[in-house]
Amino acid sequence: MPKDRTRSKPSGLPIIHPFAAGIDIGSRFHVVAVSPDLCDEPVQTFQAFTSDLQRMADWLVATGTKTVVMESTGVYWVAAYEVLESRGLEVVLANAREARAVPGRKSDVNDAQWLQRLHACGLLRASFRPGRDIAELRAYLRCRERHTDYAAAHIQHMQKALTFMNIQLHHVITDITGVTGMRIVRAIVAGERDPDRLAAMRDVRCKESLETIRSALVGNYQPEHVFALKQALALYDFYQRCIDECDVEIERAVAILNIAHPIPDAPLPKAKHRSKLPSDPNFDVRTAMYQLAGTDLTQIHGIGPFLALRLIGECGTDLSRWPTAKHFTSWLTLSPGCKISGGKVLSSHTRKTSSRITVALRLAAVTVGRSNTALGAFYRRLAGRIGNAKAVTATARKIAVLFYNAMRYGMDYRDPGADHYEQQYRDRVIKQLHRRAAQFGYSLQPQDSPA
């Protein structure tokens, strides 16, 4: 139990959280600091073993601590976060950029005390941390993403081995991991060298002729290059199996989340995207997302079924954590910055980020820019005026706002089309011209016929 003691008079900034603690996270040990008013020894060091984490939680509870702040240092904070959260403590995960200590205060003890002081004064904001079910889904999705990246690297290794053997397979087929490509690669690894037999494995959907494919398969089959191809193929197959295992866990996690979400009464609208892409999970993602979100997110141009799954996996289904769409896009670092000094705007650039969903939304914006939609017209108009990079950011922000409104308020998206958007833009320009002319004492009249 915390000792009864006369609380010292606060100096400087007012104390918002008097029962706050700060933890300096390390790989081998953690330094914990509480208010000097809570115990005689306000700074303690605990090892990073699980038993020590439990002892750290016991000590914090015994001192009467109610809220704890820690920096997001690597992945070392995860175990401490989960142990403290399970003990009923409010755990705040602070961005290290916002918790920088003043110069000259660099030590583990000083860092912990500095975090505790900042948190006690209410100067630190908590980073977003989803609930347990969403965190589990997010972990599976991120694991799948890593396996996909590893598999893609081994596709490049296969391509390199084929190039060493002067097998021009990539010039005659679109994708070496497609039906035709994998048949031929597996046959080469199995020992087949006859170009006629290899070309006969061509799928009927291939555009190139049988003779062209045969010419591309006449190669210099050196044993070291065949060995490299065999190794790359084995690793590619291994990661494909890992991806399939991730898909099973993702489907199970989504099914658990859908238990609390009834199936919408309205039927699922007609799909705007291809039914299934090769990289999509091995289950009906669109139907599962329709039940989970309560609306068809794929009606938003740029958001396919798998991107909708990734967005929900990172943000969750309850977006009330962000009061408005502006807060949400600011969290995604898609909104303009605001650096003002002396009444002068110093910079309005967006902040740098490594957020997965921000990157995914930017890629979606590039795809939307080539479509005949209102979002596509918006992208092309901005790209011609301010450049492609800023147009991508602005379009990604619009997609994020549409996603927020769909999840928060259940709003359905209906695309008005590129022509409707262009007409609205034309009407705005004409209205501005009339207003400017009126300011100078003129009036504008439409021209009846061309001069």
| Reported confidence tier of residue 274, pLDDT bands at 50, 70, 90 | low
Residue 425 lies in a domain: no
Strand ranges across the sheet with 67-71: 43-47, 29-34, 20-24, 67-71, 90-94
Domain boundary among 86, 120, 154: 120
pLDDT digits (tens, 9 = 90+) for 195-245: 999 999 988 888 888 889 999 999 899 999 999 999 999 999 999 999 999
Do 174 and 201 lie in one domain? The reply is yes
Greater confidence (269 vs 331) lies with 331
Residues 231 and 195 occupy one common structural domain:
yes
Do residues 104 and 175 share a domain? no
For residue 412, which amino acid is it? D
- The answer as to whether 262 is a domain residue is no
What confidence score (pLDDT) does residue 1 get?
Answer: 46
Q: Specify whether 251 is located in the same domain as 222.
A: yes
Percent of the chain with pLDDT over 70: 94
Q: Do 76 and 27 share a structural domain?
A: yes
Residue type, 234: A
Distances from the Cα of 381 to the Cα of 21, 22, 98, 389, 393, angstroms = 51, 49, 37, 13, 13
Residues 384 and 275 in one domain: yes
Asked if 404 and 339 count as a contact pair (C-beta separation under 8 A), the reply is: no
Bridge partners of 94, per DSSP, are: 71
Which stretch of DSSP H or E encloses residue 437? Answer: helix 418-439
Q: Across the chain, which distance is largest between two alpha carbons, in Å?
A: 92
Domain hosting 200: range is 133-256
| Residue count of the chain | 451
Cα(25)–Cα(93) distance, rounded to whole angstroms? 11
Mean pLDDT confidence for 370-398:
93
Tell me how far apart the alpha carbons of residues 197 and 220 are, in angstroms, rounded to a whole number. 16
d(CA 180, CA 205): 9
My answer on whether 67 and 92 are in the same domain is: yes
Tokens at 201, concatenated: 């494995």
Out of 199-213, 266-280, 422-436, which region has the weakest mean confidence (pLDDT)? 266-280
pLDDT tens digits along 122-133: 888 888 899 899
Residue 325 confidence (pLDDT):
95
* In a domain? residue 444: no
Answer whether residue 417 is part of any domain.
Answer: no
pLDDT tens digit sequence for 42-92: 999 999 999 999 999 999 999 999 999 998 888 999 999 999 999 999 999
Lowest-pLDDT choice from 30-34, 144-148, 267-271, 303-307: 267-271
Q: What is the pLDDT of residue 164?
A: 95
Q: Rounded distance, CA 339 to CA 326, Å?
A: 17
Tell me: do 150 and 79 sit in the same domain: no
Point out the domain boundary residue: 91, 120, 149: 120
| Residue 224 shares a structural domain with residue 297 | no
Residue 61 lies in a domain: yes
Distance, CA of 81 to CA of 95 (rounded, Å): 14
Final residue before a domain boundary, out of 56, 91, 120: 120
Tell me which of 89-103, 214-228, 355-369 is least confident. 89-103
Report the CATH number that the domain containing residue 98 is assigned in CATH.
3.30.420.140
Please state, in angstroms and as integers, the Cα–Cα distance from residue 119 to each residue in 16, 125, 270, 421, following that order.
8, 9, 50, 47
Average confidence (pLDDT) over 274-299: 86
Average pLDDT of span 346-351? 78
Is 442 inside any structural domain? no
DSSP string, 143-198: HHHHHHHHHHHHHHHHHHHHHHTT--HHHHSS-TTSHHHHHHHHHHHHT---HHHH
- Least-confidence region, from 19-23, 147-151, 173-177, 203-207: 203-207
Task: Kindly state whether residues 276 and 402 are assigned to the same domain.
Answer: yes
**CA gap 344, 39 in Å, rounded:** 48
Within a domain: 427: no
Q: What pLDDT shows up at residue 6?
A: 43
CB atoms within 10 A of CB 45: 15
Q: Are residues 108 and 146 in the same domain?
A: no
Domain count across the chain: 3
Same domain, 343 and 227: no
Residue 430 in any domain: the answer is no
